[in-house]
Chains A and B, each alone.
Chain A
Amino acid sequence: MFLASKELWFSKRRFLLIGFIIVMISWLVFVLSGLGNGLADLGTAVIRNSEMALAVFEKEADFSLSKSTLPESLIDDITELEGVEEVAAITQAIGSISQDSVDTEENGKKTSVIFLGIEEGSFLEPEVVLGEGLKSDRPYQVIVDSSLLNEGFALGDTVTVNSIGLELEISGFADTQTLNHLPAVYVPMETIRELKYVVPGSDMGIKDPISAVFIKGNIDRDMISSTIDGVEVADKKETLNGIPGYAAESGTISLMLWLLIFISAFVIAVFFYVLTTQKVKQFGVLKAIGASNSFVIKTVVGQVFLLSTISILIGIALTYLMTLVLPEGMPFNLQPEMVLIYSLVLLATSMIGSLFSVKSIIKIDPVTALGRAE
C-alpha cells in the first residue's frame, strides 16, 4: 500500500479519470438494481414482503393466484400439520373502483386495482400507515395501497366497485402493497366473495372458496402435498415466479446487471493492464534493488483495491443522492443488502481483473534496469 497510495496521490489526474469510470459504472449498477427492485415491488410486493414460507395452490394452477381455487375448509387440515406456525387464506380478484360519493374532478374516474381477500388479523394483513386495520363487524371497510393517495383517494372515502356497484369505505392506507403492477385493496374474505363470485357457478361448486393458503413456519412441503389431495405446494420463490411477467422482468434486469458488471470488470482489467505495461521499467528498477514479485504484485493489486473501493463508495453516495430527486411515480427501491452485494461483486471483479497484470509483472526481468536507461 506504501507505493500504491503514494502513486495514486502523485498521479491524481490520471487516476481520477479511471476512478471516474468506476464511479459511473457502479452508479449505473446501483441505479439499475434499485429500478429493478422497484419494478419487482410493483409486480410482487404483497408476496415478497409477506412472511410466508410456503403457499398451497390448487393442483394444475401453476402456482398462480388467479388460476387457483380451493375450499376454505382446507385451512383446518393444514393448521393441524406439524411445524405450521400460522396459516392465512388469500383470495385474489382484479377489478376497478371509482370514487363517486364526492363531487370532485376525479368523480367517476376508474382506477384499476387488485382485490385481496384476507381474514382480518391474519399475518397477511398489512400494517397501516394511516387510518386503521380491518374490523370483523365492519365488512365493507378496506385497506388500500398508499399510492392511491396520489390518485385522489382519501381516508373515509366511499368507493364503488365497478360493474357490480358494491360500495366500500377506505379505512386505512398501507405502504408498498402492490401486486401484478396494480395497487392492492384488502377486503375481508366474506366481502371479496360478494364481488368475485357474482355469476352463479363461478365458484365451481366449492363452498366458501379461496385462492390459496399461505403458511408461516418450518414445514416439510412434501408432507403437505402427500397428506392433502388436489393441491400443490410452492415455496416463496416459486410463488413469485408464478406471478405473470415477474420471471421475465427480473430476468431481463438481472441479465443487464450482470452483463454490466462483466463488462466493467473487463474495462478495469484493461486499464490496469495498460498501466502495468507502461511501468515495466519502474518495476524492473524495483526488482533490481530487491523487491520480490509479491511486493510488486501487492502494490498493483493494492492500488486497484484502493481506487475501486473509493470509487464504489462515491457511486453509492451518488445513487442515494439521486433517489432524492427521482420523480414520484418512478418505482425505485434500493435495498442496503443489494448495495452491499453489488459493491462486493464490483470490487471482486476489478480485483480479478487486476490479476491479469500479475503474469506480466512476474515476467519483468530486473536486468532491464541496467544499461541505457530511459
Chain B
Amino acid sequence: MSGLVLKNVTKTYQEGAFKTVALQDLSLSVEHGEFIAIIGPSGSGKSTFLSIAGALLKATSGQVLIDNVDLASLSERELSNIRLDKIGFILQTSNLLPYLTVEDQLLVVKKMGGSIKTEDRVLAKELLNDIGLGDKLNKYPHQLSGGERQRTAIARAFMNNPSIILADEPTANLDTKRAREVVSLISLEVKARNKAAIMVTHDERMLSYCDRVYRIEDGVLSLEK
C-alpha cells in the first residue's frame, strides 16, 4: 500500500505534572489520487496531526508510513530528506520568501536537493502555467494578491513531485470566490498528478471538493461523510 498511512497514532505533551493528549489512537490511510479533508475547531489537534503526518513531529506511539517507510526509525537528517522528496506542504497564508520571484519560489525547492537543472525550470513554468500564473514569473510576493500567493504556494508544493500533499488551512484570509478557486485547483492537481492529499481546514464551504471528510475533536478522529 502506498500513500500515507497512520496506525494507532497517539501524541501526548508533557507539561510539568500535566499530561495533555493531543491525538488519541488515530488511524487513517490516504491513497494516491485521494483528496481528503480534516475539519475541527481550534485546539482539536489539527496542527499536531499535520505536524506528525508531515514528518515535523514524532508520534508518542503508533506508526506513520509514507510510501511504506516508517518515519519513527529515521534520523533528523533523513526526516528533512523525506520532507524534501515525499511531502509537499501548502502552508497557511502561503509563507513565501519575500525576496524570491514566483519562479524562484519553486526553484528553491530543487536547490535544496542539489542544483537546478533545465528540466526543473521547464517544470516550474509548466506548474505556474497550470495554475494561471504563467505571466507573473518574475513578480515578488508583495506584488501578488492573496489568492495568487496561495496559488504560488500550491505550485511550490508540487515542485518536488511529492508523494503526499499536506495543506494547512489553505483558504485562510481568502474570500469565498478565491477560496473556491484555490481548493478546486488543489483538487485538480491532486487528481491530475495522482497524489495523496490531506487538507486541514475549519472552512466547511470547501468540503464538496473532497473525497472524504473527517472530523477531529479532542484528538479523536471520526469519519464525517
- Contacting pair B112 A288 (CB below 8 A): no
Instruction: Give Cα distance in the complex from A281 to B81, angstroms.
Output: 20
B interface residues (Cβ-Cβ under 8 A, vs A)? 47, 50-51, 54, 56-57, 77, 80-81, 83-85, 87-89, 91-93, 95, 97-100, 104, 107-109, 111-113, 116, 140, 156-157, 160, 168
Contacts of B168 in A (CB 8 A): 370-371
CB atoms of B81 and A367 under 8 A apart: no
Given pairs A2-B108, A366-B83, 9 additional interface contacts (CB within 8 A): A3-B108, A3-B111, A6-B100, A285-B91, A289-B109, A290-B87, A365-B56, A369-B89, A371-B47
Q: How far is the CA of A373 from the CA of B104 in the complex (A)?
A: 22
Report the interface size for chain A: residues with CB under 8 A from the other chain: 28
When distances are taken between beta carbons in the complex, the residues of chain B under 8 Å from A374 are: 93, 95
Contact B95 A373 (CB under 8 A): yes
Pick the contact of B92: A6, A9, A370 (CB < 8 A): A370
A291 interface contact, C-beta 8 A: yes
Name which residue of chain A comes closest to B77, CB basis. A292
Tell me which residues across on chain B come within 8 A of A367, comparing CB atoms: 47, 51, 56-57
Pick from A282, A290, A371: contact of B81, CB under 8 Å: A290
Within 8 A of B (CB), among A1-30: 2-3, 6-7, 9-11
Contact A290 B83, beta carbon cutoff 8 Å:
yes
CB distance A292 to B81 under 8 Å?
yes
Interchain residue pairs with CB less than 8 A apart (28): A2-B108, A2-B116, A3-B97, A3-B99, A6-B99, A7-B99, A9-B99, A286-B108, A288-B54, A288-B56, A288-B91, A289-B84, A289-B88, A290-B84, A290-B112, A290-B160, A291-B80, A291-B84, A292-B80, A292-B81, A295-B112, A369-B89, A369-B95, A370-B50, A370-B51, A370-B54, A370-B56, A370-B168
Residues of B contacting A371 with CB < 8 Å? 47, 92, 168
Contact: B99 with A285, CB < 8 Å? no
The CB with the most chain B CB atoms within 10 A, among A7, A288, A291, A295, is that of A288
Which residues from chain A sit less than 8 Å from chain B, CB to CB?
A: 2-3, 6-7, 9-11, 281-282, 285-293, 295, 365-367, 369-374
Please, which residues of chain A bring their CB within 8 A of the CB of B88?
289
Assembled-state Cα–Cα distance A302/B81 (Å)? 22
Instruction: Say yes or no: B99 contacts A10, CB within 8 Å.
Output: yes
**Do the beta carbons of A369 and B91 come within 8 Å of each other?**
yes
**Once the chains bind, are A292 and B112 in contact (CB under 8 Å)?**
yes
Give Cα A292 to B54, complex, Å.
Answer: 15
Q: How far is the CA of A289 from the CA of B56 in the complex (A)?
A: 10
For the complex, give the distance between the alpha carbons of A304 and B87 in Å.
31
A345 to B140, CA, bound (A): 37
Interface of A is mostly: helix
Q: Separation in Å of the A123 CB from the closest CB of chain B?
A: 57
> In the assembled complex, which residues on chain A have CB atoms less than 8 Å from the CB atom of B140?
10
- Contact residues in B for A10 (Cβ distance below 8 Å): 98-100, 140
Q: In the complex, how many angstroms separate the beta carbon of A80 from the nearest chain B beta carbon?
A: 67
B165 to chain A, nearest CB (A): 12
Alpha-carbon distance A293/B80, docked complex (angstroms): 9
Q: How far is the CB of B108 from chain A (nearest CB, A)?
A: 7
- Distance in Å from the Cβ of B160 to the closest Cβ of chain A? 7
B92, A372: Cβ atoms closer than 8 Å: yes
Which residues of A lie under 8 Å from residue B81 when comparing CB positions?
290, 292
Q: Could you tell me if A6 and B104 are in contact, using CB atoms closer than 8 angstroms? A: yes
Contact present for A290 and B85 (CB under 8 Å): yes
Highest count of chain A CB atoms <10 Å: which of B83, B85, B116, B140: B83
Complexed CA–CA distance, A366 and B47 (Å) = 12
Q: Once the chains are docked, how many angstroms separate the CA of A291 from the CA of B92?
A: 18
5 tightest A-B CB contacts, nearest first: A290-B84, A10-B99, A290-B83, A373-B93, A7-B99
In the assembly, what is the distance between CA of A6 and CA of B54, in Å? 28
How far, in angstroms, from A289 to B100 measured CA to CA in the complex? 15
Q: Contact: B47 with A291, CB < 8 Å?
A: no
In the complex, what residue of chain B is closest to A284 when comparing beta carbons? B95
Q: Which residue of A lies closest to B168 (CB)?
A: A370
A9–B93 Cα distance when bound, in Å, is 24
CB of A289 within 8 A of CB of B77, answer: no
Residues of B within 8 A of A291 (CB): 80, 84, 112
Q: Which residues of A contact B89 (CB under 8 A)?
A: 288-289, 369
CB distance from B3 to the nearest CB of A (A): 19
B91 proximity list for chain A (CB < 8 A): 285, 288, 369-370, 373
> How far apart are the CA atoms of A355 and B110 in the complex, in Å?
25
A290-B83, A291-B80 known; A366 vs B56 contact (CB < 8 Å): yes
Tell me which residues across on chain B come within 8 A of A292, comparing CB atoms. Answer: 77, 80-81, 84, 112
